[in-house]
Structure 1
Amino acid sequence: MFSKTKIMKSIKDCWDKLNSADAIVVGIGAGMSTSAGLEYSGERFMKYFSDFNEKYGIKDMYTGGFYPFKTSEEYWAWWSRQIWYNRYLPEAEKVYKDLLEILKGKNYFIITTNVEHQVQKAGFSKDRLYYMQGDYGLWQCSTPCHNKTYDNEETVKKMLDEQKDMKIPSYLIPHCPVCKEEMTMNLRIDDRFVQDEGWYKANKNYNDFLEKYKDKNIVFLELGVGNNTPGIIKYPFWQMTYKNSNATYILINLNDASAPMDIENQTIGILGDISEILEKILENK
């Protein structure tokens, strides 16, 4: 099934399928936020992290998240900036608002590997979202000693305001209210990731939606999903399309508009910038 072929179809083909679908499952990856301008490298990185670049040689926000800082004061100085400038500072970007407009009045559910919360900021209902990789806006116990997450906005803002020389004051280092160990990010980077009550509820909502429409006229719309974690969105979308002859797989991607040969006739592939493509789809609405 996994021999791939390039698929190219028109914007009109895409809109016709979306408009006639019984249900739409949207899978959003990193390419969507890149299209929105939330880039982790280059000029935007240097705007907020030039001092970390100069001192530690960190070249982008992604690799910086894995840097072995020697102290917690340095670690949280980095992460408070990472969180603030990607999760709290940006308003909902136009590409996400355009997606909301395209899906208005339609029966949809969204799964995303992105952690910067742009989908909810754009106005999508939380009950139709599954943030399965975590959220920059949440902390968890680093042990973890219990399955609960904690909102971090107030403390992150203090960290940002009070840090000096790439260090936060020691009193701002967050600790678990239960075991007193240091907190960490609620991001799926190892087996300590906390799946809290909200995570399980979203997971159930997503799977219930898939089950309800598994044999119906369903569209799997993939936006900016790459090959870093294809097992979360891309491969399941392929497999569910293959199993349902009524399904359509639509992918919009800047670099790769290919799909397995076995679902070639069920695929609409559009190569290009997601923001530009969604604008064109809106023009067809």
Structure 2
Amino acid sequence: MNETYENRIEKAKWVIQNAENILIGGGAGLSAAAGIEYGGKRFTENFAPFIKRYGLTDMYTSGFYPFPTQEARWAYWAKHILVNRYEPSGTQLYKDIFQMVKDKNYFVITTNVDSQFEKSGFVAEKVFEVQGNYGYLQCAKGCHSTVYNNESLVREMVAKTEDCKIPSELVPKCPICGGNMDPHLRINQHFVQDDEWDELNESYNHFLHESTGKKMIYLELGVGFNTPGIIRYPFEQMTFNNENATLIRFNMEHPEGAKENREKTIAFTENMYDVVSKIMK
């Protein structure tokens, strides 16, 4: 962190250009930097009726709110999914990151569930959304390992929401056990890991294996400490274990890492969009 901003930019540019493989780890801070924020004006403009009725404060904590009925719960969740998964197109920040790595052998592991990587040009078979995806539903009890596309249902729910409730006939029910459905998110022990999840997990592990000893970049983007065991800690460990690796970390609040990796880490606390733009020049 003692290096100048300009030196860190040039160093990051050089190691990316010379890398054989790039593993990207995307966290919540990446989508927030791209403009998909869960609080502030974006929240208040989209959820005013829910804020007035329930006293909700942001989209993240609202996902845990104990709504009184399934009709009320899905009125909120349909809107949440619509504004975070279906309304936004690929954002400029994600598109720039794709341009930065598209000619490299890359793979993505992300805790984000908004499909921004795929929308912005990344090959779907190289994006492991380990925590799920807003675009699908699953049995709330995980009684079977199938997930269901929800776009048409979500749009109908939002269109027919009145008084912060959806019509009872739109409440999704599990086609196997008849119980409640959940968004396909890792919120409890019932998270469904379907065939696609298993295949991408296998692809991720294959990428790690074939990257052993190579000139490797671990590009960590906006990863906090909600689930550090998925991206942050493994990236630190893999950087330490590969003498040819460099960790590039974008994190405004927690750029510090393992002291053993200090000489192999390029950390940025500056605006992510500005940094990526400069690296691409």
- TM-score normalised over the length of structure 1: 0.95
C-alpha separation between the residues in 1 aligned to 2:154 and 2:122? 25
C-alpha separation between the residues in 1 aligned to 2:2 and 2:196? 37
206, 214, 224: which is aligned to 1:226?
A: 224
Runs (4+) off by over 3 Å: 6-9
Q: Does 1:22 align with 2:58?
A: no
C-alpha separation between the residues in 2 aligned to 1:21 and 1:86? 33
Q: Does 1:271 align with 2:238?
A: no
Q: What is the 5 A alignment of 1:150-165?
A: 150-165=148-163
Q: Partner of 2:30 in structure 1?
A: 32
C-alpha separation between the residues in 1 aligned to 2:142 and 2:191? 8
246, 250, 254: which is aligned to 1:252?
A: 250
Displacement of 1:27 after TM fit?
A: 0.3
Q: Partner of 1:193 in structure 2?
A: 191
Displacement of 1:10 after TM fit?
A: 1.3
209, 212, 237: which is aligned to 1:211?
A: 209
C-alpha separation between the residues in 2 aligned to 1:109 and 1:192? 27
109, 115, 118: which is aligned to 2:116?
A: 118
Q: What is the 5 A alignment of 1:81-160?
A: 81-160=79-158
Give the direction of change, closer, same or farther, for the CA distance of 1:7–1:85 in structure 2 (3 Å limit): farther
Displacement of 1:276 after TM fit?
A: 1.2
Displacement of 1:37 after TM fit?
A: 0.9
Displacement of 1:154 after TM fit?
A: 0.5
State whether residues 163 and 169 of structure 1, in contact with CA within 8 Å, keep that contact through their aligned partners in structure 2: yes
| Aligned partner letter, 1:270 | F
C-alpha separation between the residues in 2 aligned to 1:13 and 1:137? 38
What's the secondary structure of 1:240's corresponding residue?
helix
C-alpha separation between the residues in 1 aligned to 2:246 and 2:152? 43
- Percentage of identical aligned residues: 44
C-alpha separation between the residues in 2 aligned to 1:213 and 1:250? 17
- TM-score normalised over the length of structure 2: 0.97
Displacement of 1:7 after TM fit?
A: 6.3
* RMSD (Å) for aligned C-alpha atoms: 1.0
Q: Deviations over 1:31-64 (max 9, x none)?
A: 1111111110111000111111111111000111
Q: Unmatched 5+ residue regions in structure 2?
A: none
Q: Partner of 2:279 in structure 1?
A: 281
What's the secondary structure of 1:10's corresponding residue?
helix
Q: Does 1:261 align with 2:265?
A: no
C-alpha separation between the residues in 1 aligned to 2:144 and 2:257? 41
Q: Deviations over 1:219-253 (max 9, x none)?
A: 10101111111111000000011111111111012
Q: Partner of 1:175 in structure 2?
A: 173
State whether residues 255 and 272 of structure 1, in contact with CA within 8 Å, keep that contact through their aligned partners in structure 2: no
237, 240, 243: which is aligned to 2:238?
A: 240
Give the direction of change, closer, same or farther, for the CA distance of 1:105–1:142 in structure 2 (3 Å limit): same
What's the secondary structure of 2:47's corresponding residue?
helix
C-alpha separation between the residues in 1 aligned to 2:258 and 2:252? 18
| Aligned partner letter, 2:43 | F
Displacement of 1:127 after TM fit?
A: 1.0
Q: Unmatched 5+ residue regions in structure 1?
A: 1-5
C-alpha separation between the residues in 2 aligned to 1:144 and 1:100? 34
